[in-house]
Amino acid sequence: MSLRSPHSLLLSWRFLLRDWRSGELWLLMLSLLMAVSVSTSIAIFSERLQLSLGRQVAEVMGADLVISSPRPLSEEVNEAIDSESVEQATVLEFPSVVMAEEEMQLVSAKAVTSNYPLRGHMRTAEQPFAADEIAEDTPGKGEVWLEPRLFPLLGVEVGDSLLLGEAEFKVARAITLETDRGSGFYSLSPRLMFNMDDLDRTGIIQPGSRVYWKSLIAGEPEQLKGFRNTVEPLLSDSEKLSLAEDNREDLRSSVLLLKQFLGLGSIAAMLLAGIAVAMSSRRFAERRFDGIAVMRCMGAQQNQVMQIFIGELLWVAVLVSIPGVLIGWLLQTGVVKLLAGVLPAWLPEAGPMPMIVGGLTGIITLVGFGLAPLLRLREVTPLRVLRRELTPAAAGVWSVYGLSLISMLALLWYHTGQLLMTVGIILGVTAVILLITLAIKAGLARVQRRLSERPVPMPWRLGLKRLLQEQGQTSAQLIAFTLTFMAMALVLLVRTDLLDRWQQQLPENTPNYFAVNIQPAEVKPFQSFLESNDIDGTSLYPMVRGRLVEINGQPAKEAVSEEQRSHNSLNRELNMTWSDQPAPEDEMVEGEWWQPGDTGEISIEMSIVEHLGLKMGDELTFMIAGTEVDTKVTSIREVQWESFQPNFYMVLPEASLKNLPATWLNSFHLPQQERLVLNELVRQFPTISLLDMDAVISQVQIMLEQSILAVEAMLLALLLAGLLVLASAIEASLDTRLREGALIRSLGGSRKQLMVMQVGEFFIMGAFSGLIAVVGTELCSWWLNIQVFELPWQPAIWLWFTMPVVSALLIGFSGWLGIRRVIRQSPGVVLKQE
């Protein structure tokens, strides 16, 4: 229905002012305000959080975006970098030999420009393994920074000189954290870092040298998007672009979970606000039947009436959207301020989109949830002025729920960005509503039978009778209550599961160091070193490096599609281990583990299977230290990458690998204050590479804390929305209750009887909806945990006992609050108003 007539628009504005003045609209406005502000604040907050998490990942990577290549970047790419207004730092990595006075050592040298890194920080210390601090600069001209373990290996101290290529450098500091040293660390030699300006002086880089170029890029999200679009088509096969968002599986899965949870929370909150809108708008419509009948008598046409009242509500939506967006913005600003200590100081501002969508939510919610009851206004006959019982038929179930579901679909799709999940949720909600309706119908039928079989005290009987007689309204209220409790319980349950999962992910004593490249002969001494120093270390894992050369008898690169050919696993050596049982964290997707002594089998990680299009039974041949090893895929695993435990793509039986050259890998936890012991470790085991994961772990920890806070805030918003639904539902039935209460009082009913009757009715509805909500909650949480969050599920037994009681008490109490007026009101006043 469009408002074509300016006259109707003006009239609807007048009606709005009049209704506002007489206090008719506040509940509807409040519900809409809730929908708009919740939607806005969640949209803004999650976008900011998303951006900030992206930045946090970027910190680990040193940039928002990295282009890497075995050759200098092509002219076109360099021009693109210059022409787009993004920041750039250049990094060059190559293996080289460094010479100190007495020692020589293979190092992984890294030349950096002085603006390196663009995101995050390096940390350095004055001495190896001493307390470190954020590095404000990069190595100066003529200086090198070394990884701590290089000091004992080269026998140098800070201030000593060493030779790299033809140039002499002074050792200036120890690098304790290098931001972008994320992946592929198993093969790294110890790090030596120097200034790019000294590169020519070393004379090392010649045509054909093995060099790895990296261009680190940073900028605002919009700039990056533009840059990416420009540059991507220019890249050659060997130039690889990686985004912060695509990196760090461990951080990413947490971000995804949080985003999904916030999505779920906002769905629930908006659904509740929507229900409140539906109830208020139903009351709005019903209270206008008489007035509209009069207006129709005066000659107003159906369309004119519709235009006036729909126009009035559109005005409401527009007027509410503005303060709603403002409140939403303030809310999230408040949350951000409140959490200043936890959130990163540079939480980026969100774009205008969340605010626009937040504002539109008002109109979408109103149309979706409020339109169906309003359509009844069209059917009001003018004859109602003479025969008041001529009430328009109740809005069709499908128009009520259909419209709401469609509007929810639109909002959810925006908030979650996942069509499939959204459709899933919508179907789920539809199924739940159907189930609730059936359960309510069955329940009410049972009550009716009971009522006719045995006597029930009068006040209870009246309450129950009313529930039964007005089944339509009773069902609507029960559905609203049930959905409210379900949404709240569901979010509470999932929140608990999520928190558990996050805590599991980073238990105390999460390994913060990885020791790699432990030689077979060093395994025993290494273990006893850890034991004698009271270091909490996991078991040791053997590691064999090999290349995948054939798939089902065909050369690997020919066996896969062109797109798959560039996948990392075909272009580098893979880390493999042997084990006669699967890692406890891993989940078997397909197949079975081998028996000890078996050979020729392999277990592969899921993502590789997907990337290379492999399947069970495929035959893979690896080249390991000059030996071909034939295997057959007999199991596929899903690996918990965020567990901070050593994980492997390929696992083989011990018998297949034990005669091949292997090194060992270990991860252990070392408290900050005991770090100096590492000096000794490196001296005793000079060939071992040590990786410090503390920085990454603390980043993840901060992120989890943020996530938990966001989750709690969500729950609070949901609680408010739930209370709003209760208020709307009670308010919606107030007119009938006032009338009925007055009648009963005028017939000599005592206040107490009235109280038992009215509050009892709410109490029964509360208990009943609580019971149905438990069933619904369990079904939904099962589905969400298994399908969406991939969390283990178990029934929440406590919920079965608490929920019906809590909801009965809550609804009973809210009902009492709402209808005190009914009980106090003098019957004369009420009946006179009739």
Partner 1 sequence: MTTGTESSIAVSAKSLSKTVKAQSGSLTILSGLDLKIKSGESVAIIGTSGSGKSTLLGILAGLDQPTDGEVALADNRIDHLDEDARAKVRADHTGFVFQSFHLLPNLTALENVMLPLELAGKQNAQTQSKALLERVGLSERLTHYPKQLSGGEQQRVAIARAFAGQPDILFADEPTGNLDEKTGESIIDLLFEVNREKKTTLVLVTHDLQLAQRCQRVLKLTQGRLEEEKSTQNNVEWAGEAE
Q: State the residues that interact with partner 1 by CB under 8 A.
A: 7, 11, 14, 18-19, 21-22, 24, 290-291, 293-304, 381-383, 385-387, 833
Which residue number, 333 or 825, has a Cβ lying nearer to partner 1? 825
Cα dist. 398→369, 476, 574, 758 in Å?
12, 13, 57, 30
The least distance separating partner 1 from the CB of residue 11, rounded to whole angstroms, comes to: 6
- Of 18 and 572, CB closest to partner 1: 18
295 or 364, CB closer to partner 1?
295
C-beta of 472: minimal distance to partner 1 in Å?
21
Task: Output 131 or 385, the one with its CB closest to partner 1.
Answer: 385
The CB-of-361 to partner 1 minimum distance in angstroms stands at: 27
Instruction: Return the SS3 of 537.
Output: strand
Smallest distance, partner 1 to C-beta of residue 752, A = 29
> Is the Cβ–Cβ distance between 145 and 139 less than 8 Å?
yes
Query: From the CB of residue 256, how many other CB atoms can be counted at a distance below 10 Å?
Result: 12
Token pair of 662 as six digits: 């292997």
Angle, helices 458-469 vs 471-505, to 10°: value is: 90
Closer to partner 1 by Cβ: residue 137 or 290 = 290
What does residue 115 show for φ and ψ, rounded to 5 degrees? -95, 10
Closest CA to 173 of 131, 204, 119: 131
Residue 239's identity, in one-letter code, is E
Would you say 181 and 64 are in contact if contact means Cβ atoms under 8 Å apart? no
Give yes or no for a cis peptide into 128 (omega within 30° of 0). Answer: no
DSSP-assigned beta bridge partners for residue 436 = none
**Rounded alpha-carbon distances, angstroms, from residue 363 to 23, 478, 725:** 21, 26, 18
Min separation Cβ 389 and partner 1, Å: 12
State which residue, 26 or 782, has the beta carbon closest to partner 1. Answer: 26
The enclosing H or E element of 446 equals helix 419-453
* Residue closer to partner 1 (CB basis): 19 or 586: 19
The answer to whether 53 and 707 are in contact (CB under 8 A) is no
Closer Cβ to partner 1, 463 or 741, answer by number:
741
Least distance to partner 1 from the beta carbon of 792, Å? Answer: 55
Nearer to partner 1, 107 or 285 (CB): 285
Give the DSSP H or E segment for 257.
helix 249-286
Q: Are strands 601-605 and 627-638 parallel, antiparallel or unpaired?
A: parallel
Residue pointed to by tokens 């009410």: 444
**What is the rounded distance in angstroms from the CA atom of residue 158 to the CA atom of residue 168?**
14
Taking the complex as a whole, how short is the minimal distance between the CB of residue 284 and partner 1, in angstroms?
11
Number of H helices, E strands in the chain: 27, 23
Give the nearest distance from C-beta 378 to partner 1 in angstroms. Answer: 10
Q: Which residue has the tokens 């009948």?
A: 293
Closest CB 16 distance from partner 1, rounded Å: 11
- Whether residue 725 contacts residue 275, with contact meaning beta carbons closer than 8 Å, is answered with yes
Amino acid at 520: P
Which is closer to partner 1, CB of 45 or CB of 289? 289
Helices (H), 660-693: 677-684
Task: In angstroms, give the least distance from the CB of 729 to partner 1.
Answer: 22
Residue 138's SS3 state is coil
Q: Name the minimum Å distance from CB 384 to partner 1.
A: 9
For the bound state, the minimum distance from the C-beta of residue 383 to partner 1, rounded and expressed in Å, comes to 5
Q: What SS3 state is found at 514?
A: strand
Which CB, 112 or 822, lies closer to partner 1? 822
Which residue's CB is nearer to partner 1, number 18 or number 751?
18
- Can you tell me the distance from the alpha carbon of 340 to that of 325, in angstroms, rounded to the nearest whole number? 22
